[in-house]
A and B are shown apart, each in its own frame.
Chain A
Amino acid sequence: MDKYKNAALKPPTPLRLFLLHARINLVTLGGGYVIVPVTASSYEKKGWMTEEEFYEIFAQAQAFPGPLALNTAILSSLKLCGFWGAFAAFWGVIIPPFLAIILVSNLMSTFGSLPAVKNFLDGAGAVVPGLVAAMIWKNAKKRKWNAPHIIETAALAVLLILFPAYSLPILLIGIGCFYAIEVICKRCSK
């Protein structure tokens, strides 16, 4: 097993998994889509898991609600090191951002009222809709569109916009219906 030649030297332990995920989540800015590739290459460098194996787990992680970075960390550590590995990875993902946010919030309450800081935040906040639109654009390009997908997406988006107070039941029932439709469509086309 050539690709695991480092494994004999430094096998994954809960402590190592905690430290690895804590380090990645301390220094990686920009959310799940940036954290996941960094984790993939760290695992491969340590000889714990190939990138292909990792992205297979990433695909599974997307089926769960919750932050993508957290889900992939838990599922991959579960595979590497069992329950305690997953437990350690969980805290590795949670703790560094938690401390960073508390630090930033404290800075905000001290300096947030300065005009320069206020202008900075207004400018930073103004790009958020642009970034969301870009995510929609990118995902729409990747998606396999067909008539049911277009109708389903439009209907669900309209319902979510019209009834913001009921997003939980709308989403759960909606996604349940979509699953049923996917399964039925597949059977019919066979």
Chain B
Amino acid sequence: MQTLLEIVVTFFKIGIISFGGGWSTVGIIKNEVVPRWVSESEFRSLIAIAQSTPGPIALNAATMIGWNHGGFLAALLATLSVVAFPVMLIAAATILSRHIKLDKLSINESLKTGSMAMMIMTLWALKPSTSDPFLIILGIGAFVIAAFTKINALWAILGAGALNAIAGPWIQGLLGSGR
């Protein structure tokens, strides 16, 4: 019961500051859930799974952590908590927009600055912790594909997973015998 309440409060909080789409929110989610509910490496695979299953990444992460720590009810409550604040804010803004005028361009600029800083924090929070050179090469490869081509990042995730499943043990063996 206490875990359930903690999950709801945590994801509600994440919802308040989930500006700028999935990737900027990932760092915030990590700060809140690692190591309380998942380990560092579990979190990485959780994000990879969330990105390669349908739906927004923040929602997927909430559902998965809720499901693993309390089953169906926790999964449902975590998912609804993460969107509760945004939805209320949209409702409030729709009603209030007739009365209050904020400078839209300035809002957009300040939010862009905010989400850029959040992404940098996400990168810091997820900086590679492995010493396996093959995994580091896969990470660099994914950067090149996602930054300079129009290929959906999903293929980088699935491709790297498949490569490491097939070639990973062999390369680890090679490195192990080389030392």
> Taking beta carbons and an 8 Å cutoff, which residues of A are in contact with B?
25-35, 59, 62-71, 74-75, 78, 90, 93-94, 96-98, 100-102, 104-105, 108, 115-117, 119-140, 143-144, 149, 152-154, 156-157, 160-161, 164-165, 167-168, 171-172, 174-175, 178-179, 181-183, 186
Contacts and interface: CB of A to CB of B under 8 A. Distances in A.
Given A30-B152, A101-B64, A131 B142 contact: yes
A136 B128 contact: no
Contacts of A34: 152, 154
B101 interface: no
A86 to B, nearest CB: 8
B2 interface: no
Given A104-B49, A171-B19, A182-B109, A126 B86 contact: no
Interface in B63-101: 63-64, 67-68, 72, 75-76, 79-80, 82-83, 85-87, 89-90, 93-94
B7 interface: no
Contact of B59 (A94, A104, A128): A94
Given A98-B55, A131-B156, A174-B114, 13 more contacts: A28-B54, A29-B53, A31-B22, A31-B57, A64-B89, A66-B83, A67-B58, A104-B53, A128-B44, A130-B142, A131-B51, A137-B143, A167-B121
Given A130-B146, A133-B123, A168 B116 contact: no
B141 A127 contact: yes
Interface residues of B, number: 102
B3 interface: no
Given A33-B21, A70-B83, A182-B103, A171 B161 contact: no
B169 to A, nearest CB: 7
